[in-house]
Amino acid sequence: MSQDLSILFEPFQLKGLVLKNRFVMPAMTRARTPAPGTPTELNALYYAQRAGAGLVIAEGTNPVPGGSGFPGVPAIFTPGHVDGWRRVASAVHGAGGKLFVQLWHGGRISSAAWQPDGRPPLGASAVKAENALFVTPDGQRGQPDVPREATQAEIDWLVEGFAKAARNAIDAGCDGVEIHGANGYLVHQFFSDRANVRTDGYGGAPRNRIRFAVEIAEAIAAEVGPEHTAIRISPLAAYQDAPVSDPSDVYPLLLAELDRLDIAYVHCVEGEPSGINTGQGAPEREFDFPAARRLFRGAWIANNGYDPERAARTIAAGDADLVSFGRPFISNPDYPARVRLGAPLNPIDNSTAYAGQAERGYTDYPALETEPAVA
């Protein structure tokens, strides 16, 4: 291992939670959880295989009914769901890892077909997402429905639902939760002045557009403690037709509120998720990520297009405490060990990245041989 990479293998104290290294496996939808969203032994094995990361963040998980717009997504709002997540947490901890669960509500990236009452999905406003990725319950791609604008009562219900989901995660033995406030989904939709055209206290001025996210973070921190509370953001993402026209007006305000709450970490996507080109004509925008990091005194996880060398430089410069690596963890369950040894990486099978048959492309990627083979 290069001396320049040694910082990646240093432990880190995350609000009293000791992470064994600076590698983070971020939430990645793998579409392997059967209806009604209860994690199985297969899901537990998948995450346990990747527990060599200092922190594992489990894939986007529905905190309330109707939060999905994709098949195969887990949930965490029933006792059965909690039992499934208890299985996952036990497996990850048994393999020496730490586990946060990402709480993900898709908002308008959905349709009436996914809603228990058959009504249009909830959104910040009744504005349809154009050129957005949506998958029907039977697995076909389509265009999301025009959402209905969430009422105050529905916003209150959502905030309470996120807090209850966080309690469920902690009761299942998980170490914390990450609010999905990125990539054009519900929380991000409130940030976006394209998706959010409300005229009440949740729309218009930047301070109003961050209010929903802050209320969720406050509710979770009150329910399970700020040390178990985190958020993922993507200031420059136009994905799912939800750009923020001036992120420098919105995100410093948000970070100040998150700093006040003293939550565990901010997980920041630098640019579009996975380098996606939205093709949606979003205006050219800039954002000073190192300066943003200094507005929040808790831990900072950098994400998007990092290789180990860049990750080490970023941490050494104080611009991040941890770095998340997505796709390498899909096909390399032992990614940190491979980096330490300079070992080659398994290629990824893109055809099974987001869906597939059981273990194929999910739990069948080989790890390095840890002991000499017996002749």
Catalytically annotated residues = 185
Q: Give, in order, the Cα–Cα distances in Å from 178 to each of 101, 125, 158, 249, 298.
A: 6, 24, 15, 23, 14
CB contact set of 18 (below 8 Å; sequence gap of 6+): 11, 12
Sort residue 338 into left (φ over 0), alpha (ψ -120 to 50) or beta: alpha
The answer to whether residues 42 and 88 touch, using CB atoms and an 8 Å cutoff, is: no
d(CA 213, CA 147): 19
Q: Is residue 94 classed exposed, middle or buried when 0-12, 13-18 and 19+ CB atoms within 10 A define those classes?
A: exposed
d(CA 95, CA 51): 6
| Apex 77 CA angle, 91 and 73, nearest 5 | 65
